[in-house]
Amino acid sequence: MGDYHLHLWEHRDTPDDPMPSGFPLERFEAYVDQAAARGVTELGFTEHLYRFVESEPVLGEFWRDERSDLAEITEAFVRADRIFRLEDYVAGVVAAKEAGLPVKLGLEIDFFPETIDRVLDLIEPYPWDFLVGAVHWVGGWAIDGPRAGEEILRRGVRRAWEQYFELETDLARSGTVDVLAHVDVCKKAGIRPEEEPFDLYREVVKAAAESGTAVEVSSQGLRNPADEVYPAPAFLAEFHTAGVPITLASDAHVPEQAAWGHDEVVAAARAAGYETRLAFDARVGSEVPL
């Protein structure tokens, strides 16, 4: 079994938060051991692109046109959390692989239509096994940040979801990543439209099916107020009907979370009709039984 969405360190919300100590082999071993205890023996690491200093000139000040209160939060967070070097991360995963650990080299790309082409140029030299893509910011607003619920209510729930899904659909259509990460993360704060937005779901599903992009089934939603796997059951069923393959994901940020909720994501996948998930090597996916 696999977990294809793992981060190596928790976020730093402020410059006072502890500084992670890089990408040593022991850190990977801790994830491998914890995942194995949950029956998972294939680990795909997907550190956040924006956390690498090399992403700064490429992503730019993407918050600059946002309303100032939201822009200030995003700027402070990105500046505190952008602490790694891409070269070091890649070298760490490659070394873990060479040491015989069952790990894959992935990356979680932040999607902005204006900069995605430059992002692809930046990461082109490295030997990726897979790329996941995510919408964390709508403009300069962090859709999954601590003030997300407040802002969703201010904009109107349906309108806020439309803004998020428009970007998610663009990402799916772009075909630039292998897997869509936490595809309905807009529900993270536990606030949803009165009517389940099947029209928004179907746009993403259609775009993913046409571009050949997979979707992850993630336990992260079970650890926050959404209290539900990503994607929602009806959304995942639509992906299955359209023939879109899946990966399994925990979105761990510490070793203790590796493969967390694994049984729940497998159950959600089966309930939607899936019998296989994807494994990746060198950006080529292959179906393996759940």
Cα(49)–Cα(55) distance, rounded to whole angstroms?
Answer: 7
Concatenating the DSSP letter of every residue in 27-51 gives: HHHHHHHHHHHTT--EEEEEEEGGG
Cβ proximity to Zn ion, 184 vs 251, nearer residue: 251
Site for Zn ion in 114-173 (CB under 5 A): 134
Cβ proximity to Zn ion, 137 vs 201, nearer residue: 137
**Measured from the CB of residue 249, what is the shortest distance to Zn ion in angstroms?**
8
Cβ proximity to Zn ion, 210 vs 227, nearer residue: 227
Cβ proximity to Zn ion, 151 vs 251, nearer residue: 251
According to DSSP, the β-strands at 103-110 and 130-134 are parallel
Residue nearest to Zn ion (CB): 134
Piece of 29-37, 116-124, 226-234, 250-258 that binds Zn ion (CB under 5 A): 250-258
**Measured from the CB of residue 107, what is the shortest distance to Zn ion in angstroms?**
10
Cα(191)–Cα(286) distance, rounded to whole angstroms?
Answer: 36
Cβ proximity to Zn ion, 46 vs 163, nearer residue: 46
**Measured from the CB of residue 165, what is the shortest distance to Zn ion in angstroms?**
16
Cα(25)–Cα(183) distance, rounded to whole angstroms?
Answer: 31
Tell me the site size for Zn ion, rule CB under 5 A.
3
**Measured from the CB of residue 137, what is the shortest distance to Zn ion in angstroms?**
11
Cα(1)–Cα(246) distance, rounded to whole angstroms?
Answer: 13
**Measured from the CB of residue 251, what is the shortest distance to Zn ion in angstroms?**
5
Piece of 34-42, 52-60, 104-112, 225-233 that binds Zn ion (CB under 5 A): 104-112
Cβ proximity to Zn ion, 10 vs 29, nearer residue: 10
According to DSSP, the β-strands at 214-218 and 179-180 are parallel
Q: What sign has the CA pseudo-torsion 13, 18, 21, 26? A: negative
Q: Is-contact 3 252, C-beta < 8 A?
A: yes
Among 251, 258, 262, 266, binds Zn ion (CB under 5 A): 251
Which of 212, 277, 285 has its CA nearest to residue 242? Answer: 212
Q: Is-contact 274 287, C-beta < 8 A?
A: no
**Measured from the CB of residue 136, what is the shortest distance to Zn ion in angstroms?**
6
Binding stretches for Zn ion (CB under 5 A): 108, 134, 251
